[in-house]
Amino acid sequence: MSLTRIHNFSISLDGFGTGEPQSADAPFGHAGERLHEWMFRTRYWDPTGSAGLDDAFAQRHSSGIGAEIMGANKFGPPGWQEDQDWKGWWGPNPPFHTPTFVLTHHPRPSIEMEGGTTFHFLDAAPIDALRAAREAADGQDVRIGGGATVIRDFLADGLVDHMHLVQVPIVLGRGVRIWDGLEDVQESYDVEAVSSPSGVTHITFTRRVSS
Amino acid sequence: MSLTRIHNFSISLDGFGTGEPQSADAPFGHAGERLHEWMFRTRYWDPTGSAGLDDAFAQRHSSGIGAEIMGANKFGPPGWQEDQDWKGWWGPNPPFHTPTFVLTHHPRPSIEMEGGTTFHFLDAAPIDALRAAREAADGQDVRIGGGATVIRDFLADGLVDHMHLVQVPIVLGRGVRIWDGLEDVQESYDVEAVSSPSGVTHITFTRRVSS
């Protein structure tokens, strides 16, 4: 069975998945790298990093994943749709290594990158994007890569099987919130929280299976 | 030194300290008791309850406290100011057992209750209310009892030394948020998070002391 999964998605205490304003110089706006420092200190990111709890969570990001879906705001800064040469933030060999579907109202031809990543551009509802990604994933799982708006949309449509959030102890005050419009979303999930010695708290949502 | 402290203040994953609409029948609106079930299961609340981590946090609520400050929305349902006989939710012997200052734009004469609680009614800014409460506390600490609006106001004015929040794994979606207007409030605090086997996460803010 192919699952829809979210991994390593970091939020502030007040639930923002990014700050503002987002730009080419500041992909996460005034949040800077503060939401992701926990990850940079893990072995998953840095071979000299920690192999503890944060790493155990981070390492699951890619295992068993056959495709990713991301939002337009993850693929590039505001206005990237006007730049026909824009190929994402990640250089010639992006860290996805699978078919990667970018949701945008301005689709363009697919781009094949090094290392197994091919960017496809779709103007589609979550369920239709998921159908395309699942077919491309060839029996493996599909990761919803963010940002916050896309995660919210997939949660609202009941399409997420497994979600791993990382709550960072900062108050951002502004940006894009993950929780808006999701009242009682926890009712379909077993929710578990575990605080790490690093200061972050890992929160997992595991979809309940009806018997 | 007399500290200003917050204890056992429960919030949802999306940062709401209460649901809506608040009424005499539903003091926490659609949140019901869901934000406080963790506390009802502790020995602090119920002699047959758990003596574990949640209880260790809960028990600190009253120790060393000489006065409380609360907002009008904690003292009664919307409109209590019109009812000259309203004496709070808690019956003849309220659980405060100290002078208790109610912030309201409609002050009335003080009410002496059983068990050491005296309600005083103040139309005052946070710092002035704190001055009055500190004098009444006679060298002991002052507790800010909530609700969310009052906690936010005292945090915004830099008046809180110690805050204990309890994050409950539910998404309320609407109500009164604690974090609004508090961008980077964590910069004055050491923040610690610890998840409990019960499912809640205790988050403490301890004000940094300048050397």
pLDDT, tens digit (0-9, with 9 covering 90-100), for B111-140? 999 999 999 999 999 999 999 999 999 999
Q: Provide the whole-model pTM.
A: 0.95
pLDDT of residue A1: 85
Provide the token pair at B176.
Answer: 């009164």
Q: What confidence category does residue B211 fall into, taking pLDDT thresholds of 50, 70 and 90?
A: low
% of chain B surpassing 70 pLDDT: 100
pLDDT of residue A211: 59
**Statement: residue B109 has pLDDT above 90:** yes
Tracing tokens 């399409």 back to the chain, one arrives at: A159
- What's the mean pLDDT in A10-14? 98
Tracing tokens 């987002």 back to the chain, one arrives at: A22
| All structural domains of chain B with their residue ranges | 4-80+91-207
**Per CATH, which fold does B4-80+91-207 belong to?**
Dihydrofolate Reductase, subunit A (3.40.430)
Nearest to A182 among B171, B181, B192 (CB): B171
CB pairs under 8 A between A and B: 79
Question: How far is A71 from A173, CA to CA, in rounded Å?
Answer: 22
Q: What confidence category does residue B1 fall into, taking pLDDT thresholds of 50, 70 and 90?
A: confident
Q: What confidence category does residue A34 fall into, taking pLDDT thresholds of 50, 70 and 90?
A: very high
Question: How far is B207 from B211, CA to CA, in rounded Å?
Answer: 12
pLDDT tens, position by position, B30-51: 999 999 999 999 999 999 999 9
Q: What confidence category does residue A160 fall into, taking pLDDT thresholds of 50, 70 and 90?
A: very high
- A-chain CB neighbours of B201 within 8 Å are 193, 195, 201
- CATH number given to A4-207: 3.40.430.10
- What's the mean pLDDT in A197-201? 97
Per-chain mean pLDDT for chain B: 97
Rg for chain B, CA atoms, rounded: 16
**Statement: residue A210 has pLDDT above 80:** no
pLDDT of residue B210: 72
Per-chain mean pLDDT for chain A: 97
Question: How far is A59 from A39, CA to CA, in rounded Å?
Answer: 10
**Statement: residue A209 has pLDDT above 90:** no
Q: Which residues of A touch B (CB under 8 A)?
A: 13-15, 167, 169-174, 177, 179-186, 191-195, 199-201, 203
**Statement: residue B53 has pLDDT above 90:** yes
pLDDT of residue A159: 98
Q: Encode chain A in three state secondary structure.
A: CCCEEEEEEEEECCCEEECCCCCCCCCCHHHCCCCCHHHHCECCCCCCCECCHHHHHHHHHCCCEEEEEEEHHHHCCCCHHHCCCCCCCCCCCCCCCCEEEEECCCCCCCEECHHHCEEEEECCCHHHHHHHHHHHHCCCEEEECCCHHHHHHHHHCCCCCEEEEEEECCCCCCCEECCCCCCCHHHHEEEEEEECCCCCEEEEEEECCCC
Q: Which residues of B touch A (CB under 8 A)?
A: 13-15, 167, 169-174, 177, 179-186, 191-195, 199-201, 203
Provide the token pair at A20.
Answer: 């503002």
Cα A192 vs. chain centroid, distance in angstroms?
19
pLDDT of residue B87: 97
- A-chain CB neighbours of B175 within 8 Å are none
